[in-house]
Amino acid sequence: MEAVLYALDGTKRNIKVNSFVEARSIVCNYDPNGLAEVVRLHNGELFFIDEEGKLKNYPINELATSLAHLNEAIYPHDCIVGDVLLFDENEFEELPYE
C-alpha cells in the first residue's frame, strides 16, 4: 500500500507500506513496542504518528503540523512531531496487521 512519508528533514516521499506493524515501526523510530495513533485530517486522509513522540522529545515536523492545522485536525497551539505517514483513510482500514 502506498503512503506518504513526511520526514523531519522537511521532505515528503511516497513509500510502500505492507502492514500495520511496519507502519508503526516507521513512525515509532523502529521501536517494536512503540505506540502509534491516528490523526484524522477530515479530508479522507489521516496521519499515523508516534503517540509518545512529544514525551520522547522528537522534533516538530513543520510540514505535517502545517497540514494538520490547515485541516483543523489539531488545536492551533498543538504540533505534530517525528516522522509521519499519510494514508487514505479507507486504504488504512484495509492494511493487514502483519
Residue in 41, 23, 25 with CA at minimum distance from that of residue 33:
25
How many Cβ atoms sit within 10 Å of the Cβ of residue 71? 15
Is residue 33 very low, low, confident or very high in pLDDT (cuts 50, 70, 90)?
Answer: confident
Place of cell 505492507: 18
| pTM (global) more than 0.75 | yes
pLDDT digits over 11-31, tens only?
A: 999 999 999 999 999 999 998
Grid cell listed for 40: 484524522
Alpha-carbon 17 to chain mean position = 12
| Percent of the chain topping pLDDT 70 | 100
Per-domain boundaries in the chain: 2-93
Contacts of 18 (CB under 8 A, 6+ apart): 1, 96
